[in-house]
Amino acid sequence: MSPDALTPGALTPGPLTPGRLAAAAALVVIALVPFAASDYVLHIGIQILLWAFIYTAWSMMGRFGLTSFGHGAFLGIGAYGPALLWNYLGVTPWLGIPASMALAVVLALVIGYPSFRLRVVGHYFALVTLALSQVVLLTLVAAREITGGSLGMTLNVVHSWYALQFADKTTYYLIAVVVWLAGLAVWHWIDRGIERVALDAISEDEIAAASAGVNVMREKLRVTVVSAGLTALGGAFLTQYIQYVNPEVVAGVSVSLQIVFAAIAGGMHVLLGPTVGALFTIVLNESLRVLFGTHFIGAANTIYGILLILFIIFMPQGIVGLIAGISARAVRRPPRPAEAPAAGQ
Amino acid sequence: MDIFLLEAVLNGVLLGGVLALLALGLNLIFGVIDVVWICYAELMMCGMYAMYWLYAFYGVPFIAAAVVAILVVALLGVLLHYLIIEPVLGSAPINQLLATGGLLFFLQSFATLLFGTDFRNMGIRLPLLELGDIDLSFARLLAFIVALVGAGGLYLFLTRSFLGTAIRAISQDREVMGLMGVDARRVYLLTSGIGGGLAGLAACLLVLQYDVHPFIGNSFGPITFMICVLGGLGNMIGGFLAAFIMSQIISVGGYYFSIEFSYVLAFLLFIVMIFVRPQGIFGR
């Protein structure tokens, strides 16, 4: 893969470059997968795409130093909201999903506004959001009369576009591709916009950014709201696909940390980083599961845990960050004469 | 006063003892080394497994098993610092949080791999104490008393011994203590050992009340961080008192509503407190 394909530039319309051609070819391959692959491969593919979307949504704020340990809260709301509305009131997910996204956004504002106003940053912000995900998890468990508590809840199955449920995996897969691409587009839009410069400045030095005229509050709230809403959307599609939802899987500390780690493992500063994080973690998990069988429950996650520690220690920029860094260095190696003196400063 | 409410209050006090012990350990680590061990409750889980295997499986006497378990977890604490914290000591605080988060994943899944997801019970049934109409669990009372003794011992160590003084000094001024000839690295390793040991002690006490399983840390970890922050991160006396406030909310809230809603209340209180008094209830 050329470095161009890894950078957001690959998405802007413009002249054809090898990078854009590679991206277009990759897209065609991804779209053609359902016509060649087995149901099992499709199943894995759908999960990778949906989780990639969720990790991408997390990295929209994570990359600016807003390390949320509470995205399980938004994911849980997205996963449960449409399911509850559908099962009990017969409300179509077409309304249920926007409603839950709105709820996630409101929650993000309720937590985000005071956090940003009072400059709750770093691990204090991580702990506040962690507490938030616990609140959502425990509320879901406590409301066991309607949510089924820790046993989870099964979606009433009606195969139709109205119910957003389908008998075949191909439709889900194509929806997942569209959702994933939309996530990348939003990431790209944030990355290209003037906000990105402002947000980078904020994550470097908040006070300096504010004195330079950046509206710190508005910029932070904006990415937080987008990130929370999209995470809820991802949770909703996961439930629509699996047709079963369990509080421990979609809310709480474990999934919140899982989101953080996968995004970081892939690399949260590059467009495809979170996607590679999803690809890497899910493929690793699946292959270890196939390799060891169900006899060794936990083997996959044990190796996963070790890798995470090694990632944080040795390559905090993530897989894609590392590859992009190496290839950028390889490209830059023969310094042009005009640049050479500048490098010495 | 309602007799059941009184029972809930007393149980809350007893629960507070063990939570205070956990909060003390985490606060010690934070105050001295300036890192948050997000996997602290998972170290405790390791101690509980050590207790289970030694006592229930190999038949080691309880006290001997407890000593071994405390030493094992203390050693884990030292290893955690040596292998994971030292390499990231200079990086952003959030990276340190994430590195110990990776260890959390590792310990939970490694325990699942080794022991499965079964709930394991020590097979010890301690009697109920009857005070008039109130039933109190003897295991909880014992845990409360030992936790207080442990906290007192830590206090004496930190205030009366040379090493303890060095630990407190380094938490006040990292740079100057190096110039004064204190080897920060040794102090950090020692502190990690003590922090681990406290988790081990908590494990020995909790194993009498709860079954061991790989995810037991999820029930104690988050609430322990909240307690530490509520008391002011690094402020050991604050954390100690905050443990009793949190345990009252959980216990009395559980009496009025359900146990989950009482935890929801505790976490909501935490969120509000961070906005109202980010330095903690007892911070200045």
Tens of pLDDT, residue by residue over A159-198, are 889 888 888 888 999 999 999 999 999 999 988 877 777 7
Nearest to A67 among B94, B105, B221 (CB): B94
Residue A285 lies in a domain: yes
pLDDT interval class at A1 (50, 70, 90): very low
Which residues touch B269 (CB under 8 Å, ≥6 apart)?
Answer: B230, B249
Q: Residue B48 has what pLDDT?
A: 94
pLDDT interval class at A341 (50, 70, 90): very low
Min Cα–Cα distance to chain A from B233, Å? 10
Residue A268 lies in a domain: yes
Q: Do B102 and A135 touch (CB under 8 A)?
A: no
The amino acid present at A45, given as its one-letter code, is G
Residue holding tokens 């042009």?
A336
Per CB-CB distance under 8 Å, the chain A contacts of B36 are 123
Q: Are B218 and B42 in contact, with CB atoms under 8 Å apart?
A: no
Q: What's the token pair of residue A262?
A: 């996968």
Of A175, A51, A68, A182, which is closest to residue A126 (Cα–Cα)?
A68
Residue A265 has pLDDT above 80, yes or no: yes
pLDDT of B189-232, one tens digit each? 999 999 999 999 999 999 988 899 998 988 888 889 889 888 87
Min Cα–Cα distance to chain A from B86, Å? 10
Per CB-CB distance under 8 Å, the chain B contacts of A260 are 98, 101
Q: Within chain B, which residues score under 70 in pLDDT?
A: 1, 283-284
Residues of B with CB under 8 A from a CB of A: 36, 84, 87-88, 91, 93-95, 97-99, 101-113, 116-117, 214, 218, 221-222, 225-226, 229, 258, 260-261, 263-264, 267-268, 270-271, 274-275, 278
Residue A341 lies in a domain: no
* Continuous segment of H or E residues that includes residue B253: helix B236-256
How many Å is the Cα radius of gyration of chain B? Answer: 19
Nearest to B264 among A123, A135, A264 (CB): A135
Nearest to B261 among A142, A253, A307 (CB): A142
Q: At what angle do helices A253-266 and A122-142 cross, to 10 degrees?
A: 140
Q: Residue B283 has what pLDDT?
A: 65
CA distances from B169 to A52, A103, B240, B283 (A): 47, 48, 20, 19
Q: What DSSP designation does A85 have? A: I
Which of B260, B272, B279 best probes binding to A when mutated, by most A CB atoms within 10 angstroms?
Answer: B260
Q: Do A313 and B109 touch (CB under 8 A)?
A: no
Residue A117 has pLDDT above 90, yes or no: no
Minimal Cα distance from B101: which residue of A? A257
CA–CA separation, B107 and B35 (whole Å): 19
Q: Residue A338 has what pLDDT?
A: 41
pLDDT of A16-64, one tens digit each? 677 788 888 888 888 888 888 888 999 999 999 999 999 999 999 888 8
CATH of the domain at A169: 1.10.3470
Nearest to B275 among A114, A296, A302 (CB): A114
Q: What's the token pair of residue B17?
A: 């003892």
Q: Do B36 and A123 touch (CB under 8 A)?
A: yes
Per CB-CB distance under 8 Å, the chain B contacts of A126 are 94, 97
Q: Do A123 and B97 touch (CB under 8 A)?
A: yes
Q: How far apart are the first and last CA of chain A?
A: 33
Min Cα–Cα distance to chain A from B264, Å? 5
Q: Residue B237 has what pLDDT?
A: 84
Higher pLDDT, A112 or A338: A112
Quickly name the fold that domain B3-116+138-276 has. Answer: ABC transporter involved in vitamin B12 uptake, BtuC (1.10.3470)
CA–CA separation, A152 and A154 (whole Å): 7
Q: Residue A248 has what pLDDT?
A: 86
Tell me how many domains chain A contains.
1
Mean pLDDT, to the nearest integer, of A257-274?
Answer: 87
**Domain coordinates of chain B in residue numbers?**
3-116+138-276
CA distances from B170 to A25, B152, B161, B203 (A): 58, 21, 14, 28
| E runs forming strands in chain A | 153-154, 244-245
CA distances from A302 to A280, A297, B62 (A): 15, 10, 30
Q: Residue A5 has what pLDDT?
A: 43
Residue A42 lies in a domain: yes
Min Cα–Cα distance to chain B from A219, Å? 20
Min Cα–Cα distance to chain B from A34, Å? 33
Q: Residue A96 has what pLDDT?
A: 94
Q: Do B105 and A67 touch (CB under 8 A)?
A: no
Q: Which domain holds residue A86?
A: 6-332
How many Å is the Cα radius of gyration of chain A? Answer: 21
Please tell me chain A's helix, strand, coil percentages from 3-state DSSP, rounded to the nearest 5.
Answer: 80, 0, 20
Per CB-CB distance under 8 Å, the chain A contacts of B108 are 298, 301, 305
CA–CA separation, A65 and B16 (whole Å): 35
Residue A337 lies in a domain: no
Nearest to B264 among A111, A139, A296 (CB): A139
Residue A49 lies in a domain: yes
CA–CA separation, A51 and A266 (whole Å): 12
The string over B67-94, giving b where at least 16 C-beta atoms fall within 10 Å of a residue's C-beta and e elsewhere, is ebbbbbbbebbbebbeebbbbbeeeebb
Q: How far apart are the first and last CA of chain B?
A: 35
Q: Do A135 and B97 touch (CB under 8 A)?
A: no
Q: Are B27 and B168 in contact, with CB atoms under 8 Å apart?
A: no
- The two beta strands, B128-131 and A153-154, are unpaired
Q: Residue B273 has what pLDDT?
A: 85
Chains A, B: CB contacts within 8 A come to 135
Min Cα–Cα distance to chain A from B277, Å? 10
CA distances from B14 to A4, A319, B19, B123, B200 (A): 61, 48, 9, 21, 18
Q: Residue A339 has what pLDDT?
A: 39
Nearest to A309 among B102, B112, B117 (CB): B102
Return the half-sphere exposure (C-beta side, CA atoms, 13 A cut-off) of residue A56.
Answer: 29
The pTM of the full predicted model, rounded to 2 decimals, is: 0.85
Residue A123 lies in a domain: yes
Q: Are B109 and A302 in contact, with CB atoms under 8 Å apart?
A: yes
Of A236, A256, A202, which is closest to residue A68 (Cα–Cα)?
A256
Minimal Cα distance from A263: which residue of B? B98
Q: Do B112 and A312 touch (CB under 8 A)?
A: no
Of B138, B118, B140, B143, which is closest to residue B128 (Cα–Cα)?
B138
CA–CA separation, B154 and B197 (whole Å): 11
Per CB-CB distance under 8 Å, the chain A contacts of B113 are 296-299, 302
Residue A338 lies in a domain: no
Minimal Cα distance from A113: which residue of B? B275
Q: Do A261 and B261 touch (CB under 8 A)?
A: no
CA–CA separation, A8 and B62 (whole Å): 61
Q: Residue B1 has what pLDDT?
A: 62
Q: Residue A295 has what pLDDT?
A: 65
Of A76, A137, A66, A128, which is closest to residue A103 (Cα–Cα)?
A76
Q: Are A41 and A30 in contact, with CB atoms under 8 Å apart?
A: no
Per CB-CB distance under 8 Å, the chain A contacts of B277 are none
The string over A46-61, giving b where at least 16 C-beta atoms fall within 10 Å of a residue's C-beta and e elsewhere, is bbbbbbbbbbbbbbbb
The Cβ of residue B246 has, within 10 Å, a number of other Cβ atoms equal to 29
Angle at A78 between CA A77 and CA A84, to 5 degrees: 75
Mean pLDDT, to the nearest integer, of A133-157?
Answer: 90
Cα pseudo-dihedral A300, A301, A305, A308, rounded to 10: 70
Q: Do A312 and B99 touch (CB under 8 A)?
A: yes
Q: What's the token pair of residue A201?
A: 């400045």
Max CA pair span of chain B: 61
Does the ipTM exceed 0.85?
Answer: no
